[in-house]
């Protein structure tokens, strides 16, 4: 039996190996590859691994026209390709929080130029990141917006909230407000300890209830 090196999930240029699809007439392994642009194509493994094929063909088109994809290599393009990979590539660690939960990218956004048009018309800037308004909803125009990266961390399903003096907000926001390193607060919390010490915060205003997720 012919030995086939497992390439599943490995990236070469814009191509990511999906699954082995048999052999060509010369006995060389043929794989199904998924391109960053969303196209899937069968190619011989040696062709891709040797660098003779770096995309489904879109790379050559990009090099000729410059903006066929609206700017390959730009931050916005990377945002788009990462968004799609989270939902479609089972080999990505983040897939369990996206595609595995049923979250998908709308059909129109499979084309980068369409996504780029929406992004630029809705306030995209290089210091912003895409955010789903409903964290259980899909990537689609009505459910997405652009926010600062530090704000996105507050909207995750596992964000821990803490109440002080009747005011509830993310635990890490309290850490910033009182000048306690986030890493210190995080370690205390994960070890089941109270996140702030008496000399770090005015204990008279603390709600001493047990730390919990709201």
81-129 pLDDT per residue, tens? 889 988 998 887 778 888 988 999 998 898 888 888 888 888 888 888 8
Centre a 10 Å sphere on the Cβ of residue 131 and count the other Cβ atoms it contains. Answer: 16
Q: Sketch the domain layout of the chain as residue ranges.
A: 11-63, 69-155, 161-205
9 has pLDDT over 60: yes
pLDDT in tens, 174-201: 777 777 777 777 777 777 777 777 777 6
pLDDT reading at 139 higher than 90: yes
Read off φ and ψ for residue 106, nearest 5 degrees.
Answer: -60, 155
| pLDDT: which is higher, 17 or 197 | 17
**Mean of the pLDDT values across residues 143-157?**
66
The band of 210, judged by pLDDT with boundaries at 50, 70 and 90, is very low
In sequence order, what are the residues at sequence separation of 6 or more whose Cβ sits closer than 8 angstroms to the Cβ of residue 67? none
Best CA proximity match to 200, nearest among 183, 181, 174, 180: 180
3-class secondary-structure state, position 4? coil
Mean pLDDT of 42-58: 84
Indicate the burial class of 96 (C-beta count within 10 angstroms; 0-12, 13-18, 19 or more): exposed
Alpha carbon distance 169, 147 (integer Å): 18
User: Pick from 177, 145, 141, 144: which is nearest to 162 by CA?
Assistant: 177
What φ, ψ does residue 50 adopt, rounded to 5°?
A: -85, 0
**Per-residue pLDDT, 212:** 39
3-state secondary structure of 167: strand
Give pLDDT tens digits for 106-116: 988 988 888 88
pLDDT the model gives residue 152: 54
Sign of CA dihedral 144, 146, 151, 153: positive
Whether the pLDDT of residue 213 is over 50: the answer is: no
Alpha carbons 109 and 142: distance in angstroms, whole number: 12
Whether 130 contacts 144, CB under 8 Å: yes
């Amino acid at each position: 039996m012919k030995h086939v090196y497992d390439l599943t999930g490995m990236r070469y240029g814009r191509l990511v190996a999906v699954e082995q699809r048999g052999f060509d007439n010369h006995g060389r392994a043929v794989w199904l590859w998924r391109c960053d642009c969303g196209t899937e194509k069968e190619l011989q493994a040696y062709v891709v691994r040797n660098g003779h094929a770096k995309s489904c063909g879109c790379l050559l088109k990009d090099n000729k026209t410059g903006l066929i994809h609206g700017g390959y290599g730009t931050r916005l393009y990377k945002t788009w390709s990462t968004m799609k990979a989270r939902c479609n590539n089972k080999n990505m660690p983040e897939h369990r929080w996206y595609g595995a939960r049923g979250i998908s990218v709308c059909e129109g956004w499979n084309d980068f130029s369409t996504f780029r048009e929406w992004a630029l018309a809705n306030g995209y800037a290089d210091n912003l990141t895409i955010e789903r308004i409903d964290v259980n909803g899909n990537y689609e125009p009505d459910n997405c917006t652009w926010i600062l990266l530090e704000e996105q961390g507050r909207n995750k399903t596992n964000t821990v909230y803490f109440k002080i003096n009747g005011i509830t907000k993310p635990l890490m926001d309290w850490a910033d407000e009182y000048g306690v390193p986030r890493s210190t607060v995080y370690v205390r919390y994960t070890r089941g300890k109270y996140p702030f010490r008496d000399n770090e915060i005015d204990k008279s205003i603390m709600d001493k209830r047990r730390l919990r997720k709201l």
